[in-house]
Amino acid sequence: MDRRQFIVGAAALAGMPEVVAAGQSGRADKLNIALIGVWGRAFAFYDVLATENVVAVCDVYEDRFADALKRFPQAKTYIDWRKCLDHKGLDAVVICTPDHHHALIANWALNRNLHVYCEKPLAISVEEARVVRANWLRKKGKLATQVGMQRHAYPNFNRVRELIRDGAVGDLRSACAWGNRQIRRPAYPAAQGQPPAGLHWDLWLGAAPDHPYSPSYLEGGPGMNCLSWNMYWDFGAGQIGDMGSHTMDLLWNAVDAKLPTSAQAKGEKFNPDVTPVECESHFDHPANSWRGPIDVSWYQGGAMPESPSSWLDLRRIDHGAMFEGTRGYLISDFGGRIILPLGDSADMSYYKPRVKEAILPNLGDFTKQWLDACRNPSLKTACDFEYSGNMIEQLLLGLVAYRAGAKLTYDGATGAVTGSPEAAQLLKRTYRKGWTING
């Protein structure tokens, strides 16, 4: 029996569900985990991972190790995630690096048959999303994955899904989400000084093109430092990789979409250094087993959908979603929702609330859901690499349409676009020499 089989067997405990063993201290089925990126978002994992064996920690800035080693004193330290992934006896990896590393680390980890929790976004190019998703689908049922859209655990996500599925707005016709964050930058930061001792700038850049060091990339406190670099094309996807992922998740969870058949977008003037602040993108999605075809839209940075009523100001909702049906609208933020029936026939007699026994159960702890699935990969996670990969692929395709300035026809099966000769080249990133997504 190898170690992986032992973990599954120990978790089963005389035929009991594996989730029974999860979260118990001193148990025999602890996971050997590598934490890659130990600062910022990583702090949110310190407590939950303390119940496991964190055997390796990795960061390109050695000064960050002090906090991590206080919590995980037995962990071996690495500055290069490629070497960390080959740490002997690993079961799983948690990825909390800057966005431009996410897809590469996730894919390398899958190639080593490791369970993966990756902070959002899963990818910053369409090609990356497709590569990582396809790799995981070949291993589905054997490896557990989760993308860090932890707001998905809010009960309101289930309530919105129930209302849409049960016809509270009639037949669904369209859905949109928006975010009003507006952080503007003119260009990549200019070179300024030398990296501080212990910061391995070349490894911070990773597969991205070469850029000179600037201390502005390291500004911001834990959890907010991403706002110092994620708006630049080489390091992120702007708002769609940030709060856009959380907000579109609210919509995505309710509409059961996969990949769009078309994409078009418009926004502020294109900046070759910086992703747009104000932008809107629109996608056509085919029918599925319970609804007809729908339009899905994303608005950001001041661009907003039209309100269904003159007395309803959608701008009061910084990050929200709206669903349009034949009988009215559902409008939601992360924590609450309203139904707005419209028309003389919208008397709500067509809507039958669920009985208590049919209410969707709360998800519970988002990270522990993944840890449970690591022990029993037949358990489903809410934001696995298929669900999350499809969602971010759609949003990234919107950025391609924005850059191409054309409506694109999209073949989700092959990843081919038509409608712009330029668009095909924009689906992928060019990596620096020596870096690959398939290591």
Asked whether the beta carbons of 109 and 374 are under 8 A apart, the reply is: no
Q: Indicate whether 49 pLDDT > 70.
A: yes
Tell me whether the CATH fold assigned to 3-151+369-387 matches the one assigned to 154-183+238-357+389-426.
no
Residue 5's pLDDT is what?
58
This prediction's pTM: 0.94
pLDDT band at 23 (very low <50, low <70, confident <90, very high): very low
Distance CA 418, CA 428 (A): 15
Give mean pLDDT, residues 239-255: 97
Residue 13's pLDDT is what?
42
Q: Indicate whether 17 pLDDT > 90.
A: no
The residue ranges of every structural domain in the chain are: 3-151+369-387, 154-183+238-357+389-426
Dump pLDDT digits (tens) for 359-370: 999 999 999 999
Dump pLDDT digits (tens) for 308-317: 999 999 999 9
Dump pLDDT digits (tens) for 164-180: 999 999 999 999 999 99
Q: Which of 150, 163, 87, 171 is closest to 382 using CA atoms? A: 150
Dump pLDDT digits (tens) for 418-432: 999 899 999 999 999
Q: What is the CA radius of gyration of the chain?
A: 22
Asked whether the beta carbons of 56 and 84 are under 8 A apart, the reply is: yes
Residue 320's pLDDT is what?
98
Strands (E), 20-63: 32-36, 53-58
Q: Which DSSP string do the residues of 127-174 spell out, in sequence order?
A: HHHHHHHHHHHTTBTTB-EEES-GGGGSHHHHHHHHHHHTTBTBSEEE
Residue 156 amino acid letter: N
Average pLDDT score over the chain: 94
Dump pLDDT digits (tens) for 69-100: 999 999 999 999 999 999 999 999 999 999 99
Structure tokens at 210: 């070469």
Domain 154-183+238-357+389-426 has CATH 3.40.50.1000: no
Q: Indicate whether 20 pLDDT > 60.
A: no
- For the domain spanning 3-151+369-387, the CATH number is 3.40.50.720
